[in-house]
Amino acid sequence: MIDIIEFIRALAALAVTLGLIGLAAWAMRKYGPDAIGRVIAARQDRRLRIVESLALDPTRRLVVVSLDGEERMVLLGDGKLLDWIPQPRPPVVEVPAPPVNAPEPVA
């Protein structure tokens, strides 16, 4: 028959072992291999991002890429760039500021 002290020791060892497994799982989730990717993805000041991607067939893919706010459509296939289609920029129209009159003196 198991002595009560040995039973408590076995339960404590089981609790410590399960705690270490839980701690290791938490550490892998927080600091694991994909943690660096999550940190990089969390940055908001990225200049380049993929807006949308569409597989045309097993070898070709159509990708809309945003670079500095400009969207460009890229056709990729066979490990190389097949086509680059820039979208035309709308013309920038500058509106002149209305003239500022001098304030009238107060009597």
Task: List the domain boundaries for the chain.
Answer: 1-45, 47-89
What residue ranges of the chain have pLDDT lower than 70?
A: 1-2, 36-44, 81-89, 107
What count of residues does the chain have? 107
> What pLDDT, on a 0 to 100 scale, did the predictor assign at position 19?
97
**DSSP line for 61-88:** EEEEEEETTEEEEEEEETTEEEEEEEPP
> What pLDDT, on a 0 to 100 scale, did the predictor assign at position 93?
79
